[in-house]
Structure 1
């Protein structure tokens, strides 16, 4: 879909809400439904959901996936480990100002701790590369834990610890970037939701490196959906109860008709959704491919109304920003 708008720099969340004097669950929440839009705080969520609603949540934890190239202005973003043991990686200028598009197949880049990455072949328009990675026998997760830092883009000027990029649901490390729709949840809020009668269906999808400049379509990512979660979602839909995904990653996982592996599902209005009714998500950049998924769930008209209102009311974008609840 085409959703054209200009995003003022003032609406880019540059620091976590905790640094703005808020709790994680103190961010703003714009609720969109066929009846219109309304303004809330995320702490209102239990009052906005119904007993029996099911929230599909991503249990992937974020890894510190950015590793500098010594004596250069480059950083390597570890995106996705492939079934054959190679990696998709992205080279960017320091502070993630822009993709580095001058890589050459066969070129080797040294990394901290004696590691290295060797580019083998382009994967996507000169941005992502299929690469061989040498982590000096540590294994990639252990290597990144020592030498990596969280991926950050130019709108986030300061460095923040990896804890700022985790969600309360994240238990299995593997995401290059935070499944950020789950960030506002706290243990206290989850307890309130459970007491309200809201149910949780955990799924797993390890997110790769986003494409904030080119807005590329999602590429295959690792996922797993427990049978208990799939059954819970199926029962809810059979009973007429609402299934609401927390984040676009959760949609992609639960909409894949398999239990685990690599999903290449792309949600568009033409495809539609089969297992979810609503979505809790952040606000997406102009022309972002995720907007197709939002349109598939909410419809074009409501989505346009949502973004007009979010811009007019000063909601904040990006992983440290505010959130949007799309309800049927």
Structure 2
């Protein structure tokens, strides 16, 4: 398929710049794959579409304060780093801005020297490998110096950094939030459990793939960046039991669906597994693990809208996006959501 098949015109004012005060107050578009019908609801109505015995799959990754603003040791020039993932020890893959000023051997200082980063390698895809130097515990230093890595289309200041974390975030390692999960509150999760619906957790640390646009006309030529995932034995067994008992597996977010489909692809069953996945899901694709999907509204021409188009139907999804624009839905990370069943 061609990249133009996933393009649409989005008015800039529909890009949500700030989160709503109430996480569950977002609009919820309900898509029925069978009859291609659309309903307009509120996210707090989610319980109306879940059934006892279903399993809701959440990505419990935690966003690192991965944006670091520093100065070059030699010139004092400003350079920004975005941490993507830990390679080994104090070596990390990062994005640098401006990348041209951060060459191999260059050192950047953060927080009056509390932390330094030296570039040790430039990667083919534009990333850098850096070695950090500091005293104490790295995550504590990062919490002191780092900022939340909001996407570039968000121009407003985020007053409460925790609004770019899910309420169930637990495992630090992401460079971006799994944004479909931002709509949940502890109260809503408790109501879901009380209705006999299983809450199942997995981990996928969101990395460079979130920030890389598709730059080829033929989408089959696009290379995904690998991201680390983990599915526990307990979660895998719960999901297998859900399927065996006739329940539905409903993934919250594209990260959850990519993890489950990776495990099915690699092992032929849902089992305890961890590793790196570069799975790229686009139409046509036969899903093996998932019966439903909760997701936000994504960027034009992105791998995320391609995945959603594979789960439903490309024409149906593009129609739904155009309807969302007509109905003034809010788009992207702090925007509204859809559930596809």
What TM-score does the superposition give when structure 1 sets the normalisation length?
Answer: 0.88
C-alpha RMSD of the superposition? 2.2
> Structure 2: 5+ residue runs without aligned partners?
216-221, 264-271
CA contact (8 A) 1:67 1:112 kept: no
SS in 1 for 2:325: helix
Is 1:16 the equivalent of 2:16? no
Q: Deviations along 1:38-64, whole A, 9 cap, x unmatched?
A: 101000001121111111101111221
Counterpart Cα distance in 2 of 1:62 and 1:151 = 8
Give the corresponding residue for 2:132: 134
SS in 1 for 2:318: helix
SS in 1 for 2:141: helix
Is 1:49 the equivalent of 2:47? no
Counterpart Cα distance in 2 of 1:66 and 1:219 = 19
SS in 2 for 1:40: strand
Which protein is bigger by CA-based radius of gyration? 2
Give the corresponding residue for 1:145: 143
Is 1:295 the equivalent of 2:317? no
Give the corresponding residue for 2:252: 246
Q: Deviations along 1:172-207, whole A, 9 cap, x unmatched?
A: 222121111111101111111112221111101111
Q: Which moved more, 1:69-78 or 1:34-43?
A: 69-78
CA contact (8 A) 1:283 1:322 kept: yes
Aligned pair in 2 of structure 1 residues 147, 135: CA closer, same or farther (>3 Å)? farther
Give the corresponding residue for 1:170: 169
CA contact (8 A) 1:29 1:324 kept: yes
Q: Which moved more, 1:210-219 or 1:246-255?
A: 210-219
Aligned pair in 2 of structure 1 residues 170, 124: CA closer, same or farther (>3 Å)? farther
Is 1:31 the equivalent of 2:30? yes
- Paired residues in the alignment total 315
Give the corresponding residue for 1:118: 118
Give the corresponding residue for 1:237: 243
What TM-score does the superposition give when structure 2 sets the normalisation length?
Answer: 0.85
Displacement of 1:13: 0.5
Counterpart Cα distance in 1 of 2:160 and 2:63 = 11
CA contact (8 A) 1:217 1:289 kept: no
Counterpart Cα distance in 1 of 2:133 and 2:104 = 20
Counterpart Cα distance in 1 of 2:314 and 2:249 = 20
Aligned pair in 2 of structure 1 residues 123, 39: CA closer, same or farther (>3 Å)? farther
Aligned pair in 2 of structure 1 residues 198, 188: CA closer, same or farther (>3 Å)? same
Counterpart Cα distance in 1 of 2:40 and 2:30 = 6
Give the corresponding residue for 1:96: none
Is 1:284 the equivalent of 2:283? no
Counterpart Cα distance in 2 of 1:312 and 1:12 = 14
Aligned pair in 2 of structure 1 residues 266, 154: CA closer, same or farther (>3 Å)? closer
Q: Deviations along 1:193-224, whole A, 9 cap, x unmatched?
A: 11222111110111124316557754222221
Counterpart Cα distance in 2 of 1:234 and 1:214 = 34
Q: Deviations along 1:207-261, whole A, 9 cap, x unmatched?
A: 1243165577542222211112112222222333211111111112222226112
Counterpart Cα distance in 2 of 1:273 and 1:107 = 46
